[in-house]
Amino acid sequence: MLAGKRILLIISGGIAAYKCLELIRRLRERGTAVRCILTKAGGQFVTPLAVSALSEDKVYGELFSLTDEAEMGHIQLSRDADLLVVAPATADLLARMATGRADDLASTALLATDKPVLVAPAMNVRMWEHAATKANMALLVERGVMTVGPNEGEMACGEYGLGRMAEAAEILTAIEAYFGTDAPLSGRRALVTSGPTVEAIDPVRYLANRSSGRQGHAIALALARLGAETTLVSGPTRLDDPPGVQVVAVESAEEMLAACQAALPVEVAVCAAAVSDWRVKTQSGQKLKKNGGAPPQIELAVNPDILASLSAAGNKRPRLVVGFAAETEKVVAHAKAKLKSKGCDWILANDVSPGTGIFGGADNLIHLIDGSGVEDWPRMTKQEVAERLARRIAGALDSISGSSGA
Ligand code: CTP
């Protein structure tokens, strides 16, 4: 399954660079074309000659090499591949990826690419655990960068801990997993809502909420990674569009509903948006003025319920409709009531009380409620919740198709 695939392998400067030689050899044995960028620091650990001999191709290193630019621009170099693999990914290169630097060929290729990226971090344990590296990794993962490792163990510097680069065999497994053996949702269509909705009061003011969109965006990415053709309908967020997902940007609940209806038919819909329950009944076309008098009376109207509408969409109803329940008290009891009132198949309940750090934060604590009971998930990152949910959706759709004979 790796035969015919093209990988751009970026080797940066760490002692683990030697493991890349083994990785290249194993990829070549499987018929994968491997083109390599060796950074200046990477060249201190492995020689261009070894990399070139094993990859059976020339090795790229300089951003402004006239012949390379004439034969193959750095942009094309990064786009000709099916996947970019960064191994070892040093703390420095990860920081440059996170900030979008383009000061050498490796970082430029990573910035210019429109292809997925897999990184194998390798560094000293203190560097790995530093808040700066953690923040850089969180940002990269949120943008859709895939990771393998690091592992725990003895390091070249003599310390012990997390930071050893994954072995060549593990990186190979991650590459194989990416290329399609693992696409249980391929051929399926998915719809995800995410973010807040923004309800205009007048041309400059609005009603909104603190939703970051992180959970919904991560779910869209996880579904797409498992092969689903995924549409993400999102209110305004600060997040990047997840790679491989069709994103429809909306503002109000009414726009969100229309965009969701336009995305049907789908087999699964996940409503993770924090939809404003109300909108301003009559928006002012002009900015409301103080005029020295009493504050304006703003009359609210009830917004459409997108989750309930999708659950009641007749012959267009997705086979599986999943909602969230953001609660601050009696989490499971309220969520069970919501499962009924909305008519959906599963509810993922989460406690968003102040102090949990969940609303707008990086982690989530989920109770999955369906017709048969409650499943308590341990606290995990929103990405992990998304991956677990996507796998559960794949399993459920398979069993629904199996039982309906489809
Ligand atoms: N939802 C929706 N459209 C709305 C309101 C909510 O699609 N107008 C969806 C959310 O995306 C979520 C679920 O309904 O999947 C529950 O949202 P939540 O905010 O927890 O509940 P509400 O329906 O708003 O009820 P309440 O505010 O009374 O808790």
Domains defined along the chain, listed by start: 6-181 (3.40.50.1950), 189-404 (3.40.50.10300)
Considering only CA atoms, which residue is closest to atom 8 of ligand 1? 305
pLDDT at 62 exceeding the cut of 80: no
* Angstrom distance (rounded) from CA 238 to CA 164: 33
How far is the C-alpha of 333 from the C-alpha of 26, rounded, in Å? 53
In percent, the amount of the chain with pLDDT more than 70 equals 95
Looking from the CA of residue 304, the nearest atom of ligand 1 is 8
Residue of 223 and 158 predicted with greater confidence: 223
**Least confident span in 32-41, 181-190, 228-237, 309-318:** 181-190
Those residues whose C-beta lies under 8 Å from the C-beta of residue 4, and which sit 6 or more positions away, are 31, 32, 33
Q: 163-217, pLDDT tens digit by residue?
A: 999 999 999 999 988 887 668 898 999 999 999 999 999 999 999 998 999 999 9
- Residue 79, classified by CB atoms within 10 Å of its CB into exposed (0-12), middle (13-18) or buried (19+), is middle
Radius of gyration of the chain (CA): 24
In the block, tokens 């989920």 appear at 366
Burial profile 241-259: b = 16 or more Cβ within 10 angstroms, e = fewer: bbebbebbebbbbebbbbb
- Which of 311, 327, 338, when mutated, tests ligand 1's pocket best, judged by the most ligand atoms within 8 Å of its CB? 338
- The catalytic site residues sit at 157
Q: What mean pLDDT do residues 270-290 have?
A: 95
Distance 317 CA to ligand 1 centre (A): 18
| Closest atom, ligand 1, to C-alpha of 347 | 15
Amino acid identity at 362? A
- Binding pocket residue ranges, ligand 1, CB within 6 Å: 193, 253, 271-273, 275, 277, 303, 305-307, 323-326, 338, 342
Cα separation, 32 vs 37, whole angstroms: 16
Bond into 304 cis (ω within 30): no
Q: What is the three-state SS of 278-320?
A: EEECCCCCCCCCCCCCCCCCCCEEECCCHHHHHHCCHHHCCCE
- For the CA of 276, the closest atom of ligand 1 is 8
Question: From the CA of 323, how far away is ligand 1's center (Å)?
Answer: 8
The predicted-structure confidence for 307-361, as pLDDT tens digits, reads as follows 999 999 999 999 999 999 989 899 999 999 999 999 999 999 998 887 777 777 7
Evaluate whether 232 touches 194 at the Cβ level (below 8 Å): yes
Q: How much is the pLDDT for 60?
A: 92
Q: How far is the CA of 32 from the centre of ligand 1 (A)?
A: 47
Q: How far is the CA of 189 from the centre of ligand 1 (A)?
A: 23
46 touches 124 (CB < 8 A): no
Which of ligand 1's atoms lies nearest the C-alpha of 310? 7
- pLDDT on residue 245: 92
